[in-house]
Structure 1
């Protein structure tokens, strides 16, 4: 058994789990990259650590400086954990309509929470964080949407892990949020095999699926453009809130993988890809675990009621 010098050394090297029992096509294998195994519970542990260490290395982040970051959940929690270990004060700007568990997790790690109107969503939190960083130049704004440490973390770790464990991969599917996972992993995988298809999952315009965004809603993450998103992606799959919840439930009841709603959305996208293939191996991202969403009733309440709540609660 490995002994780690710090919990931060546990970030990454997450397992692939075969969930092909859910595949609509016996010739298509589906594997889940279970990022909920990271110490703060999500794929965002990777980018949070990368952003902090790079900011320390270039002198942007020095002892005593305050970190500020907009987040509707996972990035904020990961940063708060790292900031607590390293001794940095941290302020997380987030919409007021996130699940209570995420606010509680931030409080556990000692973060100050700055709330923004729920009807403005994550875009409102980004705008407020930009305003505050302009007003307080002494604070360090890591800005995951534009920070190239975000896709670079996945280019240097997540992508190589997938290639190492599954060189037969034919398709990679992930939710489109900051776009860092898609850009970093997709770039690495295509360098290894240009035939690998990289596909994004996004909600219909005007509908909310936790953790995902539709690029036509008015905000395109800078890292998406910097890393050549339009050229890198081979396509998109549209997933609605009800589909996301249905596949999240199937993931836990049929495979024992207790995941957040964005993972169900990614799985739903993978299923749509599998339906069009004769054979292949699809890897999708399980962005986080389900523990932070229990209060929403997403796993137990009536499906239609949960889908209706999705228009009011930001799950991710």
Structure 2
């Protein structure tokens, strides 16, 4: 420690110069940041898939296929951003665990990055999380810590971090601020680059579901920043409070139980959900989400998770409105993660039946739309 004298009006004033730099830590930090950035550098962009619609409609529907990331989901982008943010803030330290509250996919991706930089990882998650996601977390070297009440994930994660001297990543707070929404090949910039040679390069709508809310915030901010005319729609599943909080302008809105659609929907208004940035929300029944998942497989031969079904249902409804109004253009939604993580849920007739879900009227709505161009409300 060194001291220097500084002359002030009242006479000499001693100042203390504290140097907390540590050569070994700085070397570790530099290498950790390099490894995380290298993961992005060697990863190709994700594909933009076309969902087949009748040519006569003059409407193109795309799915941004985030399942092709190294950890198989949209959350790979988020986890990378969160790790860079926490590393550069000095929050992650060598040998100390990273802890996250997650319903699955974020934890899979964070386990991957924790292993990449050589720190332990603990995922705090609902006991109902799919076994396949738990297997993937453990495959990447992470540990699963279960809670019975989804609302207790936050406090349990903070307690574990305090007990172990680790870092609680807190995706629900930091998702919207860790991501560079102005560009830097974020998901929004990537979409627009890939649409450049399409017949409608500026989409009329982008549909993005919300778990943390970080993705919808990134896309909406980018759209406003670049002065595009694209509108942003956020679909919300059952047992989630985002729709009520948005429509009623209520930051204290909450739900008493967790979402059946893993990865999206929350029981409280999360700090990373930015209501003022988006243009529209839809409340989507869980049966509609599952029916849309299955319709996607029939249309393009790809299984996807329930959050993809939620987004696809809303995108198809928007398409039907465009057809009815005689408007042409493009709509983009997300393929968030692969369906093989949910074979025992959304693709299991036994699970669907046990949940009391009737997919038939929602499947009929989709079939009717694709055959006739009209939207028939389920049960009508």
TM-score (norm 1): 0.84
What residue number does 2:281 align with? 236
Partner of 1:146: 173
Give the deviation of 1:99 after TM superposition. Answer: 1.1
The residue that corresponds to 1:263 in the other structure is 308
Q: Distance in 2 between matches of 1:241 and 1:306?
A: 13
The equivalent residue for 2:371 is: none
Structure 2 match to 1:128: 156
Structure 2 gap ranges (5+): 1-36, 196-200, 240-254, 359-380
1:158 Cα offset (Å): 0.5
Alignment of 1:171 with 2:213, yes or no, is no
CA distance, structure 1, for counterparts of residue 83 and residue 333 of structure 2: 26
Q: List alignment gaps of at least 5 residues for structure 1.
A: 311-316
SS at match of 1:295: coil
Deviation at 1:307, TM superposition (A): 4.6
2:210 is equivalent to residue 210 of structure 1: no
Moved over 6 A (4+): none
Whole-angstrom CA distance in 1 between matches of 2:181 and 2:45: 11
- Give 1 or 2 for the bigger CA radius of gyration: 2
Measured in 1, the distance between the counterparts of 2:80 and 2:61 equals 29
Contact 2:176 2:213 in 1 (8 A): no
Question: Who is 1:30 aligned against?
Answer: 61
Q: Higher relative contact order by CA 8 Å / sep ≥ 6: 1 or 2?
A: 1
- 344, 364, 368: which one pairs with 1:295? 344
C-alpha distance after superposition, 1:87-115 (max 9, x if no partner): 01111101111111111111111212111
TM-score (norm 2): 0.71
**1:103 counterpart residue number:** 134
Secondary structure in structure 1 of the residue aligned to 2:208: strand
The alpha carbon displacement at 1:150 in A equals 5.9
What does residue 220 of structure 1 align with?
269
Q: State the 1:266 CA deviation.
A: 0.6
Provide the rounded CA distance (Å) in 1 between the counterparts of 2:177 and 2:335. 17
Aligned length: 293
The 3-state SS of whatever aligns with 1:113 is strand
- Give the match's secondary structure for 1:92: strand
